[in-house]
Structure 1
Amino acid sequence: MHTTTVGLELRPMPVPTTLDAEDAADFVDMVRVRNLVYREISGHSDFDITPGELLPALQPTPYTDRMFWNVLVDGELVGRAGLDLPLEDGSRVGFWRVELRRDAWGRGVGTAAYELIERVARERGRSVLQTSVDHPQSDGPRLDAPTGFGSIPADRAARFLRDRGYALEQVVRMSALTLDDDTFARVAEHLAAARAASTDYRLVSWDAPTPAEFVAGYGTVKAAMSTDAPAAGIEYDAEQWDADRVAAHDRRYVDAGRRLHVTAAQHIATGELVAFTELVIGHDLAATTHQEDTLVARAHRGHRLGMLVKAAALLAWRDIAPDSRRVITFNAEENRPMLDINEALGFTPVSYEGEWKKELS
């Protein structure tokens, strides 16, 4: 059903199977505006992606019910809205986004899009809505995270969310690392020290798709991301990762032509994978590299495994994408062990996101 009011249309956007499909035009236009919105907010192009790279990531899966709307005013695309509903048994959460061009702000467009999202979430039986919002640095009052770590400006986005009953639960730091000779020399020193502290473990690595010998172990540590990563008051369902889910995850990258390189620590005595990190880059090997999930299993913390896998991954990246000169990553502000690793490697803060939550009545 289309929703229209005073020139506004919230048009459902089915995800096409290919870019050649008859219904692909709306998707391609959405990606163009998505990139524009991210550049307007952040002031950089680190999050740019091509339609061909994004399309596989949005294909339907058995694990999440995903809904998308293109937001148009007088027939012109000004943004997008989306709602993700995890399909774990008993899930009560929904994750949403409304992203608009700056020239569409202040016209009731965001309000209308959000009201649609909350209505659909209620109809689907969800009782908790959560969203992640970039809060660029600005002067004026600030909001402190209830964790006691980090703050964000009490800006327009924060006011929008608070007016609708949302509470700030967590602050997440985006950090960046410049890849140059000095950085690699520093990383090599940290890798040597981490190796000396972790003699009960060996390093293994691979590019997606995951080799059969590592599928079970990779699934175990990926599942732990939903339960063991610092989440403050944000709710995540405990996920189960079998071989099918690992394969579906890997296809998002392989089908997009994006390179996903996994570096992991394997416990020598048991053969278990107990720590890992992921580096990702698209077709343009000179573009920004994204460090995605990183985790050390609880039972194996205290052996410098986080530094081990991160440093090893960065040194391997010299051969994989030698022209990429920048890596970005995200960490909860209360995740001091991981931030200590990043800061030692040379990562510096760039911006902050707020993680917001609302309990629906």
Structure 2
Amino acid sequence: MEIEPLDPAAAGSSVLEGVHEVVSAADRLDKPGAPPVTFDAAIGRLENPQPNLGRALRWVARRDGRVAGLAALYFPDAENSHLGLLELTVHPEARRRRIGTAVLSAITPELRGRTVLECWNVTKGGAGVAFGTALGFEVVDETVFQTLSLVGADRCAWEVSPAAGYRLHTWHGSAPEELVTSYADARRAIADSPFGRSAYRFPRWTADRVRESEADRRRRGIDHRVVAVVHRGSGRVVGFTELQLYPHRRDLGYQGDTAVLAAHRGRGLGFCAKAAMLRLLLAERPDVEQVVTSTAAANPYMVNVNVALGYRTTRETVILAQDTEKLARRRAQRSVARGWWGS
């Protein structure tokens, strides 16, 4: 078996086709009912990952010359500079052959300076959980994935106006200068969301940080849309919802954060903002067929808001976590005992 770095921009067609096959086969097993992953979507996901994950390193694992697994390791910065985030995918036909173990061993030295390694979106009850817990990872949170099919959706629920004293303001790409500071304040309200025992810390948003994030999305061709809830009396943003459209997956929208400041909750403002987003999406991007979103399982209020909008639960996942010091010790012990972890 060989484990080697992967640069999607420089890799040959045979490697990229192997990556696509691994992703497709894993999705068919781990995400039943999800649309098939095209080649462009699989490679685009590597080249254009979710914003705010930081620097990325990638590897492929070959077995008998064929791509059997791949890994992406992300290094968030700022308040999450203690954290490493790992995506590890092994072809179903190659599982239980120590490929994942060998990949994890090979990339562990890259985690120097990080204290916790987490794996997100691991299918609950699936092979990934069994693999991780056998290697000392713990389940620290659970997430619900929901999907809304725009084709044939009941749009009556989306026809809702904001409560008295509030208005909606929408934009693509960049927040208006007069709203960017209060928008940053509203973004910080997402920190009230439950996140279990995960070591992840929500961003401490400022106006400057909003502008940096907007510029990053523009560079990567991500269509970022926001519906903000503005308090008429103060003129400040007190809630928002966001949605992203990636260039490699134009038929699919990714519903991002939704939050309302504590003093303005209980008025249905989050529901109203999400409904307005769906109306706008339908009018402006008829090529989008589905919207997906994820919510902490410990947040049944938002899960139920999504259900009321027409979403259905399609997948449950967990976050696995382990201290990197513990991971390094395990690697060293196995190396001594077996000569090579995963041999």
Q: TM-score with structure 1 length normalisation? A: 0.77
For the residue of structure 2 that corresponds to 1:120, the secondary structure is: helix
* Cα displacement (A) at 1:174: 0.9
CA distance in 2 between counterparts of 1:126 and 1:202 reads 43
Counterpart residue identity of residue 12, structure 1 = P
Which of residues 300, 314, 327 is equivalent to 1:350? 314
Matched residue, 1:316: 280
Contact 2:19 2:67 survives alignment (8 Å)? no
* Cα displacement (A) at 1:50: 6.1
Counterpart residue identity of residue 82, structure 2 = R
Relative to 1, partners in 2 of residues 1:285 and 1:338: Cα closer, same or farther, differing over 3 Å?
A: same
Relative to 1, partners in 2 of residues 1:353 and 1:265: Cα closer, same or farther, differing over 3 Å?
A: same
CA distance in 1 between counterparts of 2:178 and 2:64 reads 54
CA distance in 2 between counterparts of 1:130 and 1:285 reads 26
CA distance in 1 between counterparts of 2:177 and 2:37 reads 31
* Cα displacement (A) at 1:302: 1.5
Which of residues 136, 158, 167 is equivalent to 2:138? 167
Contact 1:96 1:117 survives alignment (8 Å)? no
Matched residue, 2:184: 219
Relative to 1, partners in 2 of residues 1:323 and 1:356: Cα closer, same or farther, differing over 3 Å?
A: same
Counterpart residue identity of residue 169, structure 1 = V
Q: Deviations over 1:148-205 (max 9, x none)?
A: xxxx42x4222211111122122211112222465112221xx24xx2xx22221011
Which of residues 2, 9, 21 is equivalent to 1:9? 2
Contact 2:179 2:236 survives alignment (8 Å)? no
Contact 2:243 2:255 survives alignment (8 Å)? yes
Superposition CA RMSD, Å: 3.0
CA distance in 2 between counterparts of 1:311 and 1:349 reads 18
* Cα displacement (A) at 1:206: 0.8
* Cα displacement (A) at 1:335: 0.5
1:41 matches 2:30 = yes
Matched residue, 2:192: 228
Which of residues 91, 98, 102 is equivalent to 1:108? 98
Relative to 1, partners in 2 of residues 1:255 and 1:127: Cα closer, same or farther, differing over 3 Å?
A: closer
Counterpart residue identity of residue 202, structure 1 = R
Contact 2:122 2:319 survives alignment (8 Å)? no
For the residue of structure 1 that corresponds to 2:104, the secondary structure is: helix
* Cα displacement (A) at 1:224: 4.2
Contact 2:122 2:129 survives alignment (8 Å)? no
Contact 2:148 2:292 survives alignment (8 Å)? yes
Matched residue, 1:125: 113
Contact 1:130 1:357 survives alignment (8 Å)? yes
Q: Percent identity?
A: 26
Q: Name structure 1 gaps, 5 residues minimum.
A: 1-7, 17-22, 136-151
Matched residue, 1:71: 61
Q: Deviations over 1:337-361 (max 9, x none)?
A: 2112112112111111111222344
Counterpart residue identity of residue 220, structure 1 = D
Relative to 1, partners in 2 of residues 1:286 and 1:116: Cα closer, same or farther, differing over 3 Å?
A: closer
Q: Name structure 2 gaps, 5 residues minimum.
A: 327-343
Matched residue, 1:240: 204
CA distance in 2 between counterparts of 1:336 and 1:97 reads 26
Q: Deviations over 1:222-275 (max 9, x none)?
A: 4443x2221011122352334553344334543444422211111222332222
CA distance in 2 between counterparts of 1:177 and 1:282 reads 17
Pairing of 1:262-273 with structure 2 (within 5 A):
262-273=226-237
1:291 matches 2:233 = no
* Cα displacement (A) at 1:30: 7.5
Relative to 1, partners in 2 of residues 1:156 and 1:256: Cα closer, same or farther, differing over 3 Å?
A: same
Contact 1:55 1:256 survives alignment (8 Å)? no
CA distance in 2 between counterparts of 1:56 and 1:90 reads 20
Moved over 6 A (4+): none
Counterpart residue identity of residue 135, structure 2 = R
Contact 1:72 1:78 survives alignment (8 Å)? yes
* Cα displacement (A) at 1:108: 1.0
Relative to 1, partners in 2 of residues 1:95 and 1:282: Cα closer, same or farther, differing over 3 Å?
A: closer
CA distance in 2 between counterparts of 1:31 and 1:13 reads 10
* Cα displacement (A) at 1:39: 4.1
Pairing of 1:58-207 with structure 2 (within 5 A):
64-88=54-78, 91-121=81-111, 124-135=112-123, 152-153=124-125, 155-180=126-151, 183-188=154-159, 191-192=160-161, 195=162, 198-207=163-172
For the residue of structure 2 that corresponds to 1:212, the secondary structure is: coil
Relative to 1, partners in 2 of residues 1:299 and 1:10: Cα closer, same or farther, differing over 3 Å?
A: farther
Relative to 1, partners in 2 of residues 1:265 and 1:357: Cα closer, same or farther, differing over 3 Å?
A: same
Relative to 1, partners in 2 of residues 1:209 and 1:333: Cα closer, same or farther, differing over 3 Å?
A: same
Structure 1 window deviating more from structure 2 (34-43 vs 312-321): it is: 34-43
CA distance in 2 between counterparts of 1:51 and 1:250 reads 23
Contact 1:274 1:296 survives alignment (8 Å)? yes
